[in-house]
Amino acid sequence: MKKIGFIGLGIMGASMAGHLIDAGYKLSVYNRTKSKADELLARGATWCDTPAECAKDQDVVITMVGYPQDVEAIYFGENGIIDSLHEGEYIIDMTTSSPILAEQLYDAAIKRGAHSLDAPVTGGDAGARDATLTILVGGDEADYEKMKPLFSVIGKNIVYEGKAGAGQKTKACNQIAIAGTLAGVCEAFAYAKASGLEIQNVYDAISKGAASSFQMTGVVRKGLEGDFNPGFMLKHFIKDMHIGDDTGKRYGIDMPVLKQVMREAEMLEADGNGTKGTQVMLKYYDSSF
């Protein structure tokens, strides 16, 4: 399978698409802002004017967009993907989106004799750039096996999670775990600063012990250095937390830690921090960071 339509060329999508070109896949691309495709077009990708055009006559269509409403629009809206699917074609949504929507995409694909996988990723911009993403896959296991060589071009830890929607549910688990960890790390350094400790000394000590985590060494560390550029935007993390909270209600589970972190993040977003990296959570606990 060599012909791929790729939709969504943001911080992560552009890198992922580039790896597929490097691996010899013939790529057609669509993005709401065409200029974001310029580098890929210079490397041989073909521009498409609509999601439907990008999906037409492809072996695989990959989507990597922002929000569940974006996924719904590009698949089911006017000039959407579903109406362009042919028998045997694969759709792979790699957006962090709703498990319920993933199930709907699967059902719509099956009705057209096509295949559907939900395959959200973790690893941020660095993982996309270095092709080391973790890919969490839901759908039919035979389809997962068929697409595994493609996944291996853009990720390293590729895990089959179960039937349609299972990839999105697993991604929700990941983001729920991150929420508490990120908040805990930020609280720790706010405490260190307030108590008069030398921040670098504290970091050197606790980042190498039981308290260490990627949120500390890969995310919050940047904020401690004054770098709030996004590897993963706060507004997208808020979206992910809402997905976890909303589906948690469906499954009858209450998650007070997630809710608290979500409220904190939304307060920061309201103050204009939505496009900064998640390390900006430091500023909730101490605005002087």
**pLDDT tens digit sequence for 178-237:** 999 999 999 999 999 999 999 999 999 999 999 999 999 999 999 999 999 998 999 999
**Out of 3, 26, 56, 171, which one is annotated catalytic?**
171
Closest CA to 61 of 115, 141, 134, 127: 115
For the residues 18-40, what does the mean pLDDT come to? 96
For the residues 14-20, what does the mean pLDDT come to? 97
- Asked if the model's pLDDT at residue 11 lies above 90, the reply is no
pLDDT tens across 101-147, in order? 999 999 999 999 999 999 999 998 899 999 999 999 999 999 999 99
Q: Catalytic annotation on 2? A: no
For the residues 12-19, what does the mean pLDDT come to? 96
For the residues 80-86, what does the mean pLDDT come to? 95
pLDDT for position 165 = 97
pLDDT for position 125 = 87
Residue whose token pair is 């999670």? 161
For the residues 84-107, what does the mean pLDDT come to? 97
pTM greater than 0.75: yes
What mean pLDDT, rounded, does the chain reach?
96
For the residues 20-31, what does the mean pLDDT come to? 97
N-to-C CA span, the chain? 49
For the residues 81-102, what does the mean pLDDT come to? 96
Closest CA to 95 of 62, 126, 125: 62
